Amino acid sequence: MKNLDPDDINRLPAVAIEDAGLLPSLPAVYFVIANERILYIGKALNLQQRWKNHHRWGEIFALGVAARLHWLEFNDALLIQLLEQCFINYFDPPMNNTPVVEHKNNLLKPITQEQAVSILGTPVATFYRYCKDLKIKNKQIISESDLTRLQDMRRLYQEGYNRDAVLSLLGVKSIGLSDL
């Protein structure tokens, strides 16, 4: 029997961690991989739901590397649990069996676009315009620091400030024609 290695896992279906909203709704054992190394292994009865608010988001984002989420689908809940533990024992990923790191400033705890739109209480189109004005590139996953900036922007608009004043108060260079 051939030994498993991370290359075998890399051949499984995957999405970039910041695109976790694109995950399918299915039962699976999943693997977080960055820099050719398996960092974390887990299980989910619904992969998409599991990654909406995963307890390791902050730690993964704090690494500052491109991470991918790979999965192996199984329809048997007992088998998923057994396989998860077998994979953890075999690969010994560094983030398993360690306490969750809480970041004191909470700036690394991201939220989804859907959560940000709900918190802001704005239409999605307004959220996108705010992100563009604040030069927030990844609109699928929003850091708490970016959410704070978005909330400040909304508040200033509600107080009647015009766009130039809002951008100036938030320390953002106004977008010119060349930026469009």
Q: What pLDDT shows up at residue 138? A: 78
Which tokens go with 23? Answer: 């995950």
Instruction: Provide mean pLDDT across the span 157-162.
Output: 85
Q: Which residue has the higher pLDDT, 143 or 175?
A: 143
pLDDT at 150: 87
List 40's β-bridge partners, or say none.
32
| pLDDT in the model for residue 97 | 79
Task: Give me the torsion for CA of 148, 174, 158, 121, rounded to 10°.
Answer: -50
Confidence band for 179, pLDDT divided at 50, 70 and 90: very low
Tens of pLDDT, residue by residue over 97-136, are: 787 765 444 445 677 888 888 888 889 999 999 888 888 8
* Residue 56: pLDDT over 70: yes
Angle between helices 124-133 and 113-120 (to 10 degrees): 100
Residue 164 pLDDT > 80: yes
The per-residue pLDDT for range 60-79, each reduced to its tens digit, is 777 777 889 999 998 887 78
pLDDT given at position 107: 43
Tell whether the model's pLDDT for residue 152 goes beyond 80: yes
pLDDT, residue 166, reads 83
Which of the given ranges, 35-39, 69-73, 151-155, has the highest pLDDT on average? 69-73
The pair phi, psi for residue 163, each rounded to 5°, is: -55, -45
Burial class (CB in 10 A: 0-12, 13-18, 19+), 3: exposed
Residue 172 pLDDT greater than 90, yes or no = no
